[in-house]
Amino acid sequence: MKDIYGMTHEDLEQYFLALGEKKFKATQIYEWLYEKRVQSFDEMSNVKKSVIASLKQDFYFGKLKELERLDDVDVHKYLFELSDGNKIEAVLMNHDYGNSLCVSSQVGCNMGCAFCESGRLKKVRNLETAEMVEQVLQIEKDLKKRISHVVLMGIGEPFDNYENVISFIRILNHPKALAIGARHITVSTCGIVPKIKQFMEDENQVNLAISLHAPNNELRNQLMKINKAYPLEVLMPVLKEYIEKTHRRLTFEYILLRGVNDSDACALELAKLLKGMNCYVNLIPYNETSHFEYKKSSQERILKFLDVLKKNHIQATIRREFGSKVKAACGQLRSNYEEG
């Protein structure tokens, strides 16, 4: 038995062909699942009995259990329980351009970034494709709002769960499924180079964001373990190749940590590193957590850092802060829930 929400359109076509049925049935099923949003196979009234019987035998309708929802201005944070009892989070943000959902891709994370709450719980397992799709479906249902943008920036490293993440993107993007345009989907990675290369071949219309957080290896090694495997001299040429091949603008995320990576010298070094690339930098005010010593940079410092980048012709913006009241930093809700 499989969760029906994990099936890409292509998977379903293959399924029907193997049953000796026409593959257009995949579209029919998708209309029931994603347009009419039915919750059982019995409601699929234009599908013949024998097919319904097969579907019932082979698939189930998975469901995340909503444990908690916290609301703040323009943000809703959800804690879900998976069927095996593990817990994950998703955060919905209302922007003027639409509703953007931040989705988790793993239970825990093995990347071990020094400042990140998610990594305090080591990876327990990857999320199934269906468990990612269901985050979108449940929140749309709960809020009675359509989600227009999806970012894979919740708990987990998407490129450490590559296949399931790609299937998830296919379902997000399919016109008969969630119909979210590729340019409204963003995958964020700490920099797993072989997977960035693969992604450039597989999904060249989806936005890619790189968590950079430091302009040199010395600092990046301190903050992000992954830099030891794929240091900047390995990462940067691949990103340049990505931009050249996909003609897409790349996003760099840069958390500002007080006294660590927020000096003018760091900004200047960052500008040099990114010079000439079709990219922009998203400066992230650090969301402080009680488990780490790191502090957020002052507003004044953040503005100065931005100014240095701009003067050096690097496009940059400061990320709007959402819901510090609702513990919106990755993994904070889960760890508070589990640790009391």
Which residues of the chain form contacts with ligand SAH (CB under 6 A)? 111, 113, 115-117, 153, 157, 188-190, 211, 253, 255, 284, 286-287, 289, 329-330
The least distance separating ligand SAH from the CB of residue 46, rounded to whole angstroms, comes to 41
Report the alpha-carbon distance of residue 109 to residue 91 in Å, rounded: 17
Identity of the residue, 103 or 177, whose beta carbon is nearer to ligand SAH in the bound complex? 103
What dihedral do alpha carbons 42, 46, 51, 56 form, nearest 10°?
-20
Termini Cα distance of the chain: 35
Show the tokens assigned to 303.
Answer: 């503005």
Instruction: Using alpha carbons, select from 245, 252, 309 the residue that is nearest to residue 279.
Output: 252
Identity of the residue, 116 or 214, whose beta carbon is nearer to ligand SAH in the bound complex? 116
Residue 242 near residue 189, CB atoms below 8 Å: no
Instruction: Using alpha carbons, select from 156, 81, 165, 159 the residue that is nearest to residue 119.
Output: 156
The least distance separating ligand SAH from the CB of residue 173, rounded to whole angstroms, comes to 19
Residue 185 near residue 173, CB atoms below 8 Å: yes
The least distance separating ligand SAH from the CB of residue 193, rounded to whole angstroms, comes to 14
User: Residue 282 pairs with which residues in a beta bridge?
Assistant: 253, 317
Identity of the residue, 137 or 153, whose beta carbon is nearer to ligand SAH in the bound complex? 153
The least distance separating ligand SAH from the CB of residue 105, rounded to whole angstroms, comes to 8
Which residues are known catalytic residues? 89, 330
Identity of the residue, 82 or 329, whose beta carbon is nearer to ligand SAH in the bound complex? 329
User: Residue 210 pairs with which residues in a beta bridge?
Assistant: 189, 252
